[in-house]
Amino acid sequence: MDDADDPTHDRDAEHTGFDADAFAREYDPEARARALQSLLIEKEMLSSEAVDDIVARYEEDIGPLNGARVVARAWTDSAFREQLLDDGTAAMEAMDIDIDTDTMDVEVVANDDDTHNLVVCTLCSCYPWAVLGLPPTWYKTPEYRSRAVRDPRGLLAEDFEVELADDIEIQVWDSTSELRYMVLPQQPPGTEDMDEEELVEVVTRDAMIGVDRLGSGQTAADGGVTSATGEQLRDLDLGDRPTFEAPWQARAFAVAVALTDDRPWETFQHRLVEEVDRDADADHADPESTYYEQWLRALERFVVEEGLLDSATIEVRTAEFDAGDRNAHEFVDGDPHGHVDGDSHAHDHDHAH
């Protein structure tokens, strides 16, 4: 869609003077993310420690291993299973898994001999981060988001090699910002004598999304990856790739999470949804980079439209980082030397490129 045909784009530019698309075309995303972080730190709206903590938590502590622990407990403890299916959030919190109940609840749906559950977010990429980590690349693609609803049986068979008998009903669960879903897979035959710790190694991330019926031998501990092999999605699994492929992606993600700590998540999410929708028909060579570009554009709109920063200040600061006129310390510490925005030659530090 051209900018001229996008009423959302025109409305935002008219009301804020900020053209997110033009800004993205002019400046490198690393400079844009650094500019936002440094300005917000200067205004004491967040701290570098908060950003670093969020990045570390999602890279190291939050991931599918938490979900695997939940599943293994449910397989070995019938009382816990009942609690999990009745109130997933409370059951997970009882296992010391931190669910941000101010922004979301987690509902667990169980597979059985007659039913297979599949989770999707048709709006953007809502996902139970606390138990599954960040969503895999393919989960965020338009192909998965549309076909999971339109043709779930074909999606599972062709893109994930999950062939289901015709008499097995497929239930599709659409996650939202307030309610995230996780699948409780059936325990695979032959694992009945395993203890809880051993069973954790049987559970895959994909099984907890609903694109795996288990039995593949992959484990949540090593990423829980069952590779998609279909025409559309086969190259989009994260595998052993890092959580964030570039520092600016981690920075943009963490800044948005930090800023919504005391604000409704929806204030950011609806802008992300709009950015994802505006790119829906584009042919993206790198879906992961595209998704975080959408995230960064949404974040820029969020801080301007919510009145946290003004567009002129953002543009001046971004241009300075883009030209190398500000150093790497300043996106962490703000502007400790009191430089005036626009005076790009006021200091003589080593530059970060």
Q: What is the pLDDT of residues 101-115, one digit of tens each?
A: 777 899 999 999 999
Q: What is the pLDDT of residues 148-207, one digit of tens each?
A: 999 999 999 999 999 999 999 999 999 998 899 999 999 999 999 999 999 999 999 999
Please state which of the ranges 15-29, 64-78, 128-142, 263-277 shows the lowest mean pLDDT.
Answer: 15-29
Contact 141, 280 (CB under 8 A): no
Place of tokens 């042919």: 283
Question: In what helix (H) or strand (E) does residue 106 lie, and over which residues does it extend?
Answer: strand 105-110
**Tell me, what DSSP letter sits at residue 57?**
I
Q: Is the pLDDT score of 273 beyond 90? A: no
Q: Which amino acid is at 79?
A: A
Q: Which of 47, 78, 125, 146 is catalytic?
A: 125
- Res 119: pLDDT: 98
Question: Which pLDDT band holds residue 246 (cuts at 50, 70, 90)?
Answer: confident
3-state secondary structure of 96: coil
Q: Residue 47 catalytic?
A: no
- Res 215: pLDDT: 65
3-state secondary structure of 90: helix
Residue 96, strand partner residues: none
**Tell me, what DSSP letter sits at residue 276?**
H
Q: Residue 121 catalytic?
A: yes
> Which residues, including other chains, have CB under 8 Å from residue 175's CB and lie 6 or more apart?
119, 120, 121, 126, 127, 128, 181
Q: Is the pLDDT score of 68 beyond 80? A: yes
Question: Which pLDDT band holds residue 245 (cuts at 50, 70, 90)?
Answer: confident
pTM of the model: 0.68
Angle between helices 48-56 and 247-259 (to 10 degrees): 110
Count Cβ atoms within 10 A of the Cβ of residue 195 and give its class: 0-12 exposed, 13-18 middle, 19 or more buried: exposed
Q: Which of 47, 48, 126, 227 is catalytic?
A: 126
Residue 142 tokens read as: 């338009």
Q: What are phi and psi of 309, to 5 degrees?
A: -140, 155
DSSP 2-51: -GGG-HHHHHHHHHHS--HHHHHHHS-HHHHHHHHHHHHHHTTSS-HHHH
Q: Is 300 left (phi over 0), alpha (psi -120 to 50) or beta?
A: alpha
Domains annotated on the chain, with CATH: 3-45+244-333 (no CATH), 64-222 (3.90.330.10)
Q: Which of 47, 48, 121, 175 is catalytic?
A: 121
Q: How high is the mean pLDDT of the chain?
A: 80
Contact 18, 300 (CB under 8 A): yes
Q: Which of 38, 124, 175, 177 is catalytic?
A: 124
Q: Residue 177 catalytic?
A: no
Sign of CA dihedral 284, 63, 331, 36: positive
Place of tokens 């802008």: 271
Cβ-based neighbour number of residue 238 at 10 Å: 19
Contact 344, 321 (CB under 8 A): no
Sign of CA dihedral 11, 14, 19, 21: positive
Q: Which of 57-66, 271-280, 317-326 reaches the highest mean pLDDT?
A: 317-326
3-state secondary structure of 274: helix
CA gap 295, 271 in Å, rounded: 9
Q: Residue 175 catalytic?
A: no
